[in-house]
Amino acid sequence: MLKKPALSIGNVGQLAMDLMVSSTRAERIGFFDDPFLLPCVGNDAYGPQPQGQLALPLEAYDSSPNALTLVQQRSPVVKTYYLSSTNSDGTDDYCEQLGWKRLQEYNPTQRCWKYLSTLAEGNALQDDNPFEDELEEEDYYPSLPFAALFSCFKAKGLKVTCLLCYCSEGDNIQDAFHLAEAACKLLGLSPSNFHGNEGNGWLIPYSWKSVYGPPPDISIF
């Protein structure tokens, strides 16, 4: 199983992934060096004692007892625009190499395609959501962080499930617990079997000790 969080304003995905890695005692089996991720480096997120292991932008972890593979993305993707050289019938040789057989929704009269043409021509944009009213049952907002990966999986015929957690900016630790619990329920795992340092089996990641900085000085209250 593969579980990957989408980068979010509240960082719930990253916090939930750290909680899953720590609680399942997953081991890092590799990392991905991708030029399309902003570079970052940090201390070991899970070990209280220095082991000479650094945290990198995109890492893979494996928990053999739970038959679970987890991917932690710590930095955002470098945003770019890809303007296809598609043919008039919606086919594109390069897209087919990536797994897309045909751009089914291609229609130059639709506002979404006019929006791309506007970008290509360098004209000013007057609407941040130009095709919001054209969404269908299986559509989703393409600006969401998981959309590109979700589209790639669909194009290749892979089964994929996205878990979304609505939250506010600020302390999202409780939201991370809710998202991790939802992931465990989906995967058929029981957190009570993790033998963590919490009553429900969760093992709090060491990195959480300073995730929001030191606590405020109580003398100011």
- pLDDT tens for 100-112 read 655 555 566 766 6
Whether residue 14 is contained in a domain is answered as yes
Q: In the structure encoding, which two tokens stand for residue 30, read together?
A: 């590799």
Whether residue 83 is contained in a domain is answered as no
Residues 70 and 102 in one domain: no
Residues 67 and 98 in one domain: no
**Domain tally for the chain?**
2
* pLDDT for residue 192 is more than 50: yes
Residues 49 and 73 in one domain: yes
Residues 71 and 23 in one domain: yes
Whether residue 9 is contained in a domain is answered as yes
Q: What is the mean pLDDT of residues 156-174?
A: 81
Whether residue 156 is contained in a domain is answered as no
As a whole number of angstroms, the distance between CA 61 and CA 104 comes to 36
Whether residue 84 is contained in a domain is answered as no
Whether residue 72 is contained in a domain is answered as yes
Q: What is the mean pLDDT of residues 29-53?
A: 83
What pLDDT does 124 receive? 58
What pLDDT does 191 receive? 87
Whether residue 82 is contained in a domain is answered as no
Q: Per-residue confidence at 8, pLDDT binned at 50, 70, 90? A: very low
Residues 73 and 98 in one domain: no
Residues 60 and 10 in one domain: yes
- Domain with 111, as residue range(s), is 93-144
Using CA atoms, how far residue 28 sits from 69, 86, 176, in Å, is 10, 40, 21
The 10s digit of each residue's pLDDT in 53-93 is 888 889 999 999 898 999 998 888 777 655 556 666 666 77
Q: What is the mean pLDDT of residues 135-151?
A: 61
Whether residue 10 is contained in a domain is answered as yes
Q: What is the CATH number of the domain that holds 55?
A: 3.40.50.10900
Residues 136 and 30 in one domain: no
Of residues 101, 63, 76, 98, the one with CA closest to residue 5: 76
Residues 73 and 109 in one domain: no
How many residues does this entry show for the chain? 221
Residues 169 and 70 in one domain: yes
Residues 71 and 98 in one domain: no
